[in-house]
A and B are shown apart, each in its own frame.
Chain A
Amino acid sequence: MSNEHTVKSYEEELQFLVDSVIKMGSLTESQMVDSMDAVIKVDKDSIDKIIKSDEEINKFRSKIDSQIMTLLVKRAPMAIDLRETISSLKISQDLERIGDLSKSNAKKVKPLPLDLPEELLANLKRLGELVIKQLNDVLDSYVNKNYDKAKEVWEKDEQVDDLTYIAMESVIDFLSKDKKNLDFSTHLIFATKNLERAGDHITNIAETICYLIKGEYLKGSRPKGKVIQE
């Protein structure tokens, strides 16, 4: 942000809002790391902790909502301040949805057998790592108001699409070998899809950050990779 506001408390309120979004982002990121870890390791003990952390994320969301309402009514923000306020509303919504998806993935660990073949999980793991990296990068671009970095994340979602396709294929392949695998394969398919959807929310955040910084929306449609037909 440029110069400081004449009204100090306005400055503090805006900064407090941005800080809340950053904190919510970092909670969402560690929740996603934990959830991914639980899936890959089929670690059933950590499920409750991940579900609990989702409650924390949701609490942040309502806290941010209320901060935004106060800012709007008290300050009637304009220009960059208006964009900052509206962006935090949008970003917190996307973060909350990402949190829900991580929680949903954690819940899928319960019915998984402990002896899942490694090659089955390898592609899912790669996808998870990429989505976590994307989330980390997008939050980084928010903290540093880095337009190029946000745009890079937006463009890289193509790779998320591609890895989703590959991960899906390997699960379907595994499933087709033995019908007994149907039960937990379905869970893995949903988990893969959830990661892809988290990736979409991350690109939404990247778009919001670009708008926040330049005041105009990214032009053209986002590059898309291979997509599983729904």
Chain B
Amino acid sequence: MSNIKIKSKNLNVYYGQKQALFDVNLDINEKEVTALIGPSGCGKSTFIRCINRMNDVIDICKVEGNIEIDGIEVNDKELDVVSLRERVGMVFQKPNPFPKSIYDNISYGPKIHGKGETKSELDEIVEKSLRKAALWEEVKDRLDEPGTGLSGGQQQRLCIARAISVNPEVILMDEPCSALDPIATAKIEELIDELKKTYTIVIVTHSMAQAVRVSQKTGFFHLGKVIEVGKTEKIFKNPDNKMTQDYITGRFG
């Protein structure tokens, strides 16, 4: 049995008057990939944004209920959000490297978290992170060039390297491949496979095939509720819930 890394209990989220999540109970296993699927606006992104409190930046957003990482409540007002985000990295739909050099993109995080004191320490972190993100060989000779000059797929791997650089425990990915071509997508998926040995990964995806390929567990969201969670293989071969089946087979009307 895998350990539970993240546990949400009766999680409710409101954007002003509108309720976005309804009593979400979901366990995310450690060092596994959990895929979240569901139609647009079903609450998957809202859910993962609760894990590193990205919803804090939205004034009208109100979060009720619990989300625990290793048994510690994420919504605790006393909790240091900066150190939370150090533990829980995030990669977004559109690659968003800083308008800085490739090197600075990676070294920025460790620097602000006080992780690389000397230049050689930072060099080591940059190389290690880029290697883990399978980007090192492609960029090692041009670390001082702007990150925004890379191809889309490389930029996304740079963002993954940036997330890894502060040595997080959890990586949240919000449709990380939706803007990438099939080869770049394949590279990211290959990378996710490798990263799950070290990190707990939660990925939001609109590609059923991708969810099958990369994840061990899948959760199906609909209208802010978790309809079904289970082993990925089970969900895509023989789901228990009719709504899940209708969604993954393209019968949603």
Contacts and interface: CB of A to CB of B under 8 A. Distances in A.
A158 interface: no
A214 to B, nearest CB: 8
Given A78-B236, A79-B236, A6 B250 contact: yes
Given A2-B242, A215-B238, A216-B238, A79 B250 contact: no
A4 B253 contact: yes
B238 A79 contact: yes
* Best-surrounded residue of B212, B239, B245, B251 (most CB of chain A within 10 A): B251
A7 B208 CA distance: 16
Interface string A26-46: 000000000000000000000
A10 B250 CA distance: 9
A3 interface: yes
Contacts of A6: 250-253
Main SS of the interface on chain A? Answer: loop
Contacts of A77: 249
B246 A2 contact: yes
A78 B246 contact: no
A82 interface: yes
**Which interface class (under 10, 10 to 19, 20 to 34, 35 or more) fits B?**
10 to 19
B237 A215 contact: yes
B26 interface: no
Among B238, B242, B249, B251, max chain A CB count under 10 A is at: B249
Contacts of B249: 5, 77-81
Interface of B: 208-209, 212, 236-239, 242, 244-246, 248-253
Given A3-B252, A78-B212, A79-B249, 16 more contacts: A2-B246, A3-B246, A3-B253, A6-B250, A77-B249, A78-B236, A78-B249, A79-B236, A79-B238, A79-B244, A79-B245, A80-B245, A82-B236, A83-B237, A215-B237, A215-B238
5 contacts: A6-B252, A6-B253, A79-B237, A79-B244, A79-B245
